[in-house]
């Protein structure tokens, strides 16, 4: 995932990031470090942090810890905690090391748009709004990092999964026997509820056209889509195997049916492509929630603003 970075210890740098991205300033940034042990300088770590570090860092895991004073509240959206991540990409690693400061960086997309997984989308959003764009090639994973909050209850450490990603719930359970899943991952928040992860309250990842997730068996969904394609300008995110059953116009295959890694890699770029063709509506299968599916489900349900259509044997054929 491309990031929009600045010095995480400098309040005015963080303010510039919010301005360039059009992001509400109570939605905190993640700081990126070169080595897992650098977290000591910016936050209060504990043994569970180091267990996570040895299992998953460098890699797509963000850990939330109590912050030290060197990290200003402008970077953390006013919170006393800070989100820390140690990326594995060699270009990101080299930039952070050369900077000598933690790099505060949200995803490099204008707030509310699908995250950028390829440099051309960063250019589309930020050309003229930032000093420099570094081309690090296409993203391998294509989803934002997994986010966990370390908690302590009666002297026992635990984790709350705040945002699912390529490091799955099952993988976290191998390192910690007390992992809970935040309800914000699937649900919408009530009016006065305060999310543990502030980003969860904003609409996210959304293409411009209405995006609708289809829930039903594959045969019925294909029949529904064949019918819709006759009467509407609809873009369809389908599995590769389905491509020959559908009209090829505005068809955007996302990978083989069971290849969730490929779905994750394609999702945001496919949603960006959808924006370019200006369809009346975009359809996709609703993902299951197993393994990497939880992260796909979380991104897609929010991109679709929770619009799910149940497709059964007798959908309304027109
Ligand atoms: P992005 O940079 O777009 O991947 O989003 C970063 C997300 O990390 C935010 O939207 C928050 O949901 C989450 N986050 C960052 N810092 C904290 C924190 N201190 N406490 C809880 N969640 C955080
Ligand atoms: Mg983002």
**What pTM value is reported for the model?**
0.91
CA of 115 to the centre of ligand 2 (A): 6
Residue 314, pLDDT above cutoff 80 = no
**Minimum mean pLDDT among 75-84, 93-102, 121-130, 201-210: which range?**
201-210
With cut-offs at 50, 70 and 90, classify the pLDDT of residue 228: very high
With cut-offs at 50, 70 and 90, classify the pLDDT of residue 189: low
246, 229 Cβ separation under 8 angstroms: yes
What pLDDT digit, counting tens, does each position of 206-227 carry? 788 999 999 999 999 999 999 9
pLDDT confidence of residue 199? 58
pLDDT confidence of residue 112? 82
Of 273, 269, 277, 283, the closest CA to residue 229 belongs to 283
pLDDT confidence of residue 206? 79
Measured by CA distance, the residue closest to atom 11 of ligand 1 is 199
Taking the CA atoms of the chain, what radius of gyration do you get in angstroms? 20
Structure-block tokens of residue 290? 């197993």
* Architecture label for domain 6-185: Alpha-Beta Complex (3.90)
Q: Which is more confidently placed, 76 or 313?
A: 76
* Architecture label for domain 211-311: 3-Layer(aba) Sandwich (3.40)
Distance set, CA 242 to CA 64, 254, 256, 259 (Å): 41, 10, 9, 14
- Helices 260-277 and 293-303 meet at what angle, rounded to 10? 20
With cut-offs at 50, 70 and 90, classify the pLDDT of residue 180: very high
Three-state DSSP at 18 gives helix
The residue ranges of every structural domain in the chain are: 6-185, 211-311
109, 80 Cβ separation under 8 angstroms: no
- The ligand 1 atom at the shortest distance from the C-alpha of residue 82 is 19
Residues with CB under 6 A from ligand 1: 27-30, 64, 76, 79, 81-83, 106-107, 144, 147, 162, 197-200
With cut-offs at 50, 70 and 90, classify the pLDDT of residue 204: low
Backbone angles phi, psi at 313, to 5 degrees: -60, -35
pLDDT, the chain, mean: 92
CA of 276 to the centre of ligand 1 (A): 29
Q: Which of 72, 106, 116, 147 best tests ligand 1's pocket when mutated (most atoms within 8 Å of CB)?
A: 147
Quick one: three-class SS letters along 81-123? EEEEECCCCHHHHHHHHHHCCCEECCECCCCCCCCCCCHHHHH
Backbone angles phi, psi at 219, to 5 degrees: -60, -45
């Amino acid at each position: 995932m491309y990031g929009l970075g600045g010095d995480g210890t400098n309040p005015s740098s963080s303010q510039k990031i919010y301005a360039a991205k059009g992001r509400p300033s109570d939605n905190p940034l993640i700081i990126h470090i070169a080595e897992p042990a650098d977290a000591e300088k910016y936050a209060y770590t504990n043994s569970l942090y180091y267990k996570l570090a040895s299992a998953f860092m460098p890699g797509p895991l963000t850990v939330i810890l109590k912050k030290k004073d060197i990290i200003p509240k402008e970077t953390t959206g006013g919170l006393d905690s800070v989100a820390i991540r140690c990326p594995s990409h060699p270009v990101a690693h080299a930039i952070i090391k050369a900077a000598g400061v933690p790099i505060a960086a949200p995803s490099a997309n204008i707030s509310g748009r699908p995250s950028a997984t390829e440099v051309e989308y960063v250019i589309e959003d930020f050309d003229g709004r930032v000093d420099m764009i570094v081309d690090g090639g296409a993203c391998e994973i294509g989803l934002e990092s997994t986010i966990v909050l370390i908690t302590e209850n009666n002297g026992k450490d635990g984790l709350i999964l705040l945002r699912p990603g390529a490091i799955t719930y099952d993988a976290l359970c191998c390192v910690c026997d007390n992992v809970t899943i935040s309800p914000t991952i699937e649900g919408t928040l009530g009016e006065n509820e305060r999310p543990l992860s502030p980003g969860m309250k904003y609409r996210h990842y959304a293409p411009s056209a209405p995006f609708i997730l289809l829930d039903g068996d594959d045969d019925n969904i294909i029949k529904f889509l064949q019918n819709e394609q006759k009467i509407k300008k609809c873009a369809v995110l389908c599995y590769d195997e389905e491509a020959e059953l559908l009209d090829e116009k505005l068809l955007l295959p996302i990978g083989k049916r069971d290849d969730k890694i490929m779905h994750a890699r394609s999702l945001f770029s496919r949603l960006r492509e959808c924006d370019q063709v200006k369809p009346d509506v975009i359809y996709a299968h609703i993902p299951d929630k197993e393994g990497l599916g939880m992260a796909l489900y979380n991104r897609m349900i929010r991109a679709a603003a929770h619009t799910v259509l149940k497709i059964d044997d007798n959908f309304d054929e027109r």
